[in-house]
Chains A and B, each alone.
Chain A
Amino acid sequence: MSKKEKKVFSDGSEIIENNRSLDDQLSIDLQDVDIYDGPVAIRINKLIKRFGNFTAIDNLSLIVKYGEIFGLLGPNGSGKTTTINIISGLSKPTSGQVIVLGNDITKDLHTVHASLGAVPQETALYEELSAWTNMSFHADLYGVVGSDRGKRITEMLNLVQLYERKDNPVSTFSGGMKRRLALARALLHDPQLLYLDEPTLGVDVQSRRAIWDYIINLKEKKGKTVLLTTNYLEEANALCDRIAIIDHGKLVVLPNTPAELKQRYGDIIMDIETTSSITSQLVMHIQNISGINSVTQTNNILKITMSGNDLSSTGNIISLINKESNIKRISQREPNLEEIFLSLTGTGLRD
């Protein structure tokens, strides 16, 4: 099922790894789409989207459980936004099925739209108009009428701490404020499901933290289901109950919790800094030690991914390295999601 494989990257670093049989795992986990019988907010089944000869989404299947924050990760151009556009009816699938809150998006888009709150990547705010006018227009489009209308708008603006700026044109807002306003607008009609496309793209660190807090509150205090796309792994780690990583329109990491993913795709990483680089023969030798998943060497730093919690081979590794060089520093840590992505796709997150 598994085999050793050597990859050389453009920066000169190389990796020798045990190639996990992802197809096997996919075939097992995809069955979850069919067998999961809990409440489902979104069910995507064998979704394909083509633009001419280009396949943007390639046979994608996944479920988003009711009441969870689900993260769809992937580099730019991986198919995240296309997937989310299809879920919201902004783009039509070439084939496959998408069920949102029990409604087939190709048949009952109106019902889907009524129960969906959306924060598109570009926010879709009328920047020339005031925050209040934007909210008021949204209220009219979504049928939020009656005596509660003004109260509801006030409540939402207060939620994102923008009530004081209600009469200012949105064009005068910072990126973070615009995102918060878009979030308030998406919540105005009290949707069951919220989709956030790159919710903190271009937002400063402070605003990012505030937006994260709002999103977590949506789930914890209001019981909303949230689907978000991001290419910030840190964001997914902080917010999501489960994440899936897609690249070139395909799942490369199956839906799982961030902790489980770390556990599953490389348990421990050992960083060893040496005084001089070691030969590729020695790298290969280390790779062949039982329990080693991959070995990379970049600028005199060896990164060794070890499976399980078995550190018994550590002494053996140190002895081998000392034959060619001297060790300056050794550290042990969990892999971050960037490394998981790298190990699965062979590329880093593209900007």
Chain B
Amino acid sequence: MNKIKSTCIYRYIRVILAMAMKDIKSSLTERAFLLTSIIIPINFLLLFLLFALTGGQAPTALVVEDKGPFAQQFISAMEHSNSFIIHQTTSSDAQKLLQLGQIVAIVTIPANFDMALKHGSQIELPVIINNLDVDFTNDIRRAVPLAITSFYANAFPNQVAVKAYEIDTYTHDTDYVHYLVVSLMVVSIMLGGLLQAGSNAAREYEKGTIKELLLSPANPLAIQIGKIVGSMILNSFSVALMIVVIVFLIGVWPQHWDELFVFTLLLMITFVTAGLIIGTLVRRRQAVVPLSIGLSIPIFFLSGAFGPAIWGDPVTATVTQFQPVYYGIAVFQHAFHGFTTTPTGLIVDGLILVVFAVVMVAASSIVIVNVRKRGVAAK
């Protein structure tokens, strides 16, 4: 009895390994699809980083007509406001840049800036704004007064009566990019998993090889687990590349490598399995690519990618709790920065991710069993 049981287990494992190896070999021969699955998530990461880096600061020309110490202090206040990309230039060149659409605004420090301040006189800073985009326009409208306030607080500390007394939750500030990059890694794991596994599943239907699987007496769950393992191994190339980019290029070093490893594994299981379901249902690799990207982008924005989701719209914050990226971002923020970004906390978030992984594997098995029951042949 035990011998029969061990033979069954041996065959089960053999099917899993054979399936995984077959998928890996097949994918490695189709380099275009393999590269797509690796490059698209990395592209996604870089694209949003560029968006974050360029979109957050407005290109502004600064015309400095006064070389005095107050003028220098004001320039410094503007530079440290994290709101401007400053181009110091002449008035005429600044006008040209504005006309060419290369800058959002021109801020001029007038020639009598230092003198006026020394005499306590009111002084006007001319600010010319290209108000074609309200987002950038408002950035300038907010940032210039903030720079003035900051300048005053530093230049005339005794004259500023009200000051903020800041108490930080965490010992250090986190750069916006460093926060965002962690969220991007989660969504890139999602995208890579969907693309890789979706392509692996759809390829079987596209090339008619699904018949080889469905006609075999092999256990469908073993076949599906084999596909999950194969896709995860392939997906791990993309994930490893992302970790290298994040750690060595962007310089975000994880605080908890063990958490990063465990949660990466959980997310890969979840999204690879989701990819298998998508590939099985759409049966065309060309449909898998847009569908995967189309799913990833809205989920990325929904899941608290730029800051904790709970800080956003209450409806969005509630809806997003029904999908795994939300929890993925939370546990990754903890793994990288030690942050807690959900009210549920790390352990509950991790357990919820385990549940998502189990549910997805079960759903995927149901899908393949259903395909076998209903038959693959349309006619």
Give A contacts to B, CB under 8 Å: 51, 56, 81-82, 85-86, 88-92, 109-111, 113-114, 116, 118, 120, 122-129, 133, 136-138, 140-143, 145, 169
Q: How far is the CA of A279 from the CA of B18 in the complex (A)?
A: 70
Question: Which residues of chain A are within 8 angstroms of B207 by Cβ–Cβ distance?
Answer: 124, 126-127
Given A128-B30, A129-B29, A110 and B215 touching (CB < 8 A)?
Answer: no
B215 pairs with A133, CB closer than 8 A: no
Interface size class, chain B: 20 to 34
The residue on B at minimum CB distance from A123 is B208
A277 to chain B, nearest CB (A): 42
B375 pairs with A92, CB closer than 8 A: yes
Closest A-B pairs by Cβ, 8 of them: A140-B18, A91-B375, A141-B216, A128-B29, A122-B208, A114-B217, A85-B377, A113-B217
Q: How far is the CA of A123 from the CA of B211 in the complex (A)?
A: 9
Which of A56, A116, A140: most chain B Cβ within 10 A? A140
Given A51-B379, A122-B208, A140-B18, A113 and B216 touching (CB < 8 A)?
Answer: yes
Question: Which residues of chain A are within 8 angstroms of B217 by Cβ–Cβ distance?
Answer: 110-111, 113-114, 141-143
Taking chain A's interface residues, is the majority helix, strand, or loop, or is none over half, making it mixed? mixed
Q: How far is the CA of A133 from the CA of B379 in the complex (A)?
A: 30
B215 pairs with A56, CB closer than 8 A: no
B379 pairs with A141, CB closer than 8 A: no
A-B pairs with beta carbons under 8 Å apart, 11 shown: A51-B379, A89-B215, A89-B375, A126-B22, A128-B25, A133-B22, A140-B17, A141-B212, A143-B11, A145-B11, A169-B29
Which of B14, B208, B217: most chain A Cβ within 10 A? B217
B147 to chain A, nearest CB (A): 61
Q: What does the 1/0 interface line of B363-379 toward A look like (CB < 8 Å)?
A: 00000000011111111
B18 pairs with A120, CB closer than 8 A: no
B215 pairs with A118, CB closer than 8 A: yes
Q: Would you call B325 an interface residue if the criterion is a C-beta within 8 Å of the partner chain's C-beta atoms? A: no
A90 pairs with B11, CB closer than 8 A: no
A101 to chain B, nearest CB (A): 13
Taking chain B's interface residues, is the majority helix, strand, or loop, or is none over half, making it mixed? helix
B22 pairs with A113, CB closer than 8 A: no
Give B contacts to A, CB under 8 Å: 10-11, 14-15, 17-18, 22, 25-26, 29-30, 207-218, 372-379
A170 to chain B, nearest CB (A): 11
The residue on B at minimum CB distance from A129 is B25
The residue on A at minimum CB distance from B209 is A124
Given A128-B30, A133-B25, A142 and B377 touching (CB < 8 A)?
Answer: no
A139 to chain B, nearest CB (A): 8
Given A124-B211, A141-B213, A129 and B11 touching (CB < 8 A)?
Answer: no
A118 pairs with B18, CB closer than 8 A: no
The residue on B at minimum CB distance from A127 is B207
The residue on A at minimum CB distance from B208 is A122
A88 to chain B, nearest CB (A): 6
The residue on B at minimum CB distance from A49 is B379
Question: Which residues of chain B are within 8 angstroms of A143 by Cβ–Cβ distance?
Answer: 11, 14, 217-218
Given A137-B22, A140-B18, A120 and B208 touching (CB < 8 A)?
Answer: yes
The residue on B at minimum CB distance from A130 is B25
Given A85-B375, A133-B25, A145 and B18 touching (CB < 8 A)?
Answer: no
B14 pairs with A140, CB closer than 8 A: yes
A163 to chain B, nearest CB (A): 20
Which of B209, B212, B213, B215: most chain A Cβ within 10 A? B215
Given A82-B379, A140-B14, A90 and B214 touching (CB < 8 A)?
Answer: yes
Q: How far is the CA of A142 from the CA of B3 in the complex (A)?
A: 19
Q: How far is the CA of A120 from the CA of B211 in the complex (A)?
A: 8
Which of A88, A128, A141, A142: most chain B Cβ within 10 A? A141
Given A81-B377, A85-B375, A129-B29, A90 and B18 touching (CB < 8 A)?
Answer: no
Given A51-B378, A92-B373, A123-B208, 17 other A-B residues pairs in contact with their CB atoms under 8 A: A82-B377, A90-B214, A90-B377, A91-B375, A109-B372, A120-B215, A124-B209, A124-B211, A126-B22, A126-B209, A128-B25, A129-B25, A137-B18, A140-B17, A141-B15, A141-B212, A169-B29
Partner of A118, one of B26, B211, B379: B211
A124 pairs with B216, CB closer than 8 A: no
B376 pairs with A90, CB closer than 8 A: yes
Question: Which residues of chain B are within 8 angstroms of A128 by Cβ–Cβ distance?
Answer: 25-26, 29-30
Question: Which residues of chain B are within 8 angstroms of A136 by Cβ–Cβ distance?
Answer: 18
A114 to chain B, nearest CB (A): 4
A141 pairs with B375, CB closer than 8 A: no
B379 pairs with A145, CB closer than 8 A: no
Q: How far is the CA of A126 from the CA of B209 in the complex (A)?
A: 7
